[in-house]
């Protein structure tokens, strides 16, 4: 393998490692119910990382947390009994990952967050996530994470026992017989 091919392979591996890192972050945030989970989230960040809510209302409500220990402390505020989130699911889309320099990448995603709270109520949030990642050994870690609110609104509830609308079931059509005509 020549140097150019090796560099291209490393870039592809770094991009995949970024996807794994951000996916792990969202998965852990969806199940944030123990101090160990908050600590696992912290391990996805560099020691000097910054986690930042930007724009209105996230800058004021979520704030800025500098350093891994501050990020873990912020996440631990969500760990309660009963759990803060009765249900929480993050959905990422519109991914764009770019190499800024060897071993440093910038990722952008649109995120949809659906939450139900143990205290009652539910919420629908959409945000733009921009994060910078650096290679630490064989893994990528988050060096700077920003989240900017696109919209946020309360909803009644997520899970409903109402009948799910599906098409009426009709008998299947008879399969079409193929005529094998030879020329």
Domain assignment present for 175: no
Radius of gyration of the chain (CA): 22
Domain assignment present for 167: no
Domain assignment present for 76: yes
State how far the alpha carbon of 124 is from the alpha carbons of 42, 69, 158, in Å: 25, 29, 10
Range(s) of the domain holding residue 61: 6-155
What three-state secondary structure class fits 62? Answer: helix
Domain assignment present for 48: yes
Q: Going along the chain, which residue ranges are E strands?
A: 45-54, 64-66, 85-101, 104-117, 122-136, 139-155
CB atoms within 10 A of CB 146: 20
pLDDT at 176: 65
The number of distinct structural domains making up the chain is 1
DSSP secondary structure code for residue 118 in this structure: T
pLDDT (tens, 9 = 90+) of the chain, 183 residues, equals 899 999 999 999 999 999 999 999 999 999 999 999 999 999 999 999 999 999 999 999 999 999 999 999 999 999 998 989 999 999 999 999 999 998 899 999 999 999 999 999 999 999 999 999 999 888 899 999 999 999 999 998 777 778 878 888 877 777 666 666 665
* Residue 83, phi then psi, degrees to nearest 5: -55, 145
What three-state secondary structure class fits 137? Answer: coil
Domain assignment present for 11: yes
**The domain that contains 59 carries what CATH number?**
3.10.450.50
Gap between the Cα atoms of 80 and 137, Å rounded: 34
| Contact of 92 with 22, CB cutoff 8 Å | yes
Closest Cα partner for 148 from 45, 66, 62, 22? 62
DSSP secondary structure code for residue 75 in this structure: H
Gap between the Cα atoms of 181 and 55, Å rounded: 69
pTM of the model: 0.86
Domain assignment present for 34: yes
For the segment 80-109, what is each residue's pLDDT rounded down to a tens digit?
A: 989 899 999 999 999 999 999 988 999 999
Domain assignment present for 171: no
In this structure, the dihedral spanned by the alpha carbons of residues 151, 91, 29 and 73, taken in order and rounded to 10 degrees, is: -40
Domain assignment present for 179: no
């Amino acid at each position: 393998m020549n140097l150019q091919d090796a560099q291209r392979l490393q870039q592809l591996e770094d991009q995949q490692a970024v996807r794994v890192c951000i996916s792990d972050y969202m998965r852990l945030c969806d199940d944030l119910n123990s101090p160990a989970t908050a600590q696992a989230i912290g391990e996805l960040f560099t020691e000097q990382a910054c986690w930042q809510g930007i724009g209105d209302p996230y800058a004021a409500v979520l704030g800025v947390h500098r350093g891994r220990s501050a990020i873990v402390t912020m996440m631990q505020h969500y760990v309660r009994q009963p759990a803060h989130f009765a249900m929480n699911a993050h959905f990422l889309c519109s991914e764009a990952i770019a190499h800024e320099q060897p071993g440093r990448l910038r990722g952008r995603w649109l995120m949809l967050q659906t939450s139900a709270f143990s205290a009652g109520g539910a919420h629908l949030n959409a945000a733009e996530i921009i994060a910078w990642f650096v290679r630490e050994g064989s893994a990528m870690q988050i060096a700077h994470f920003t989240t900017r609110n696109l919209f946020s609104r309360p909803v009644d509830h997520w899970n409903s026992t109402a009948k799910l609308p599906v098409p009426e079931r009709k008998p299947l059509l008879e399969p079409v017989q193929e005529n094998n005509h030879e020329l």
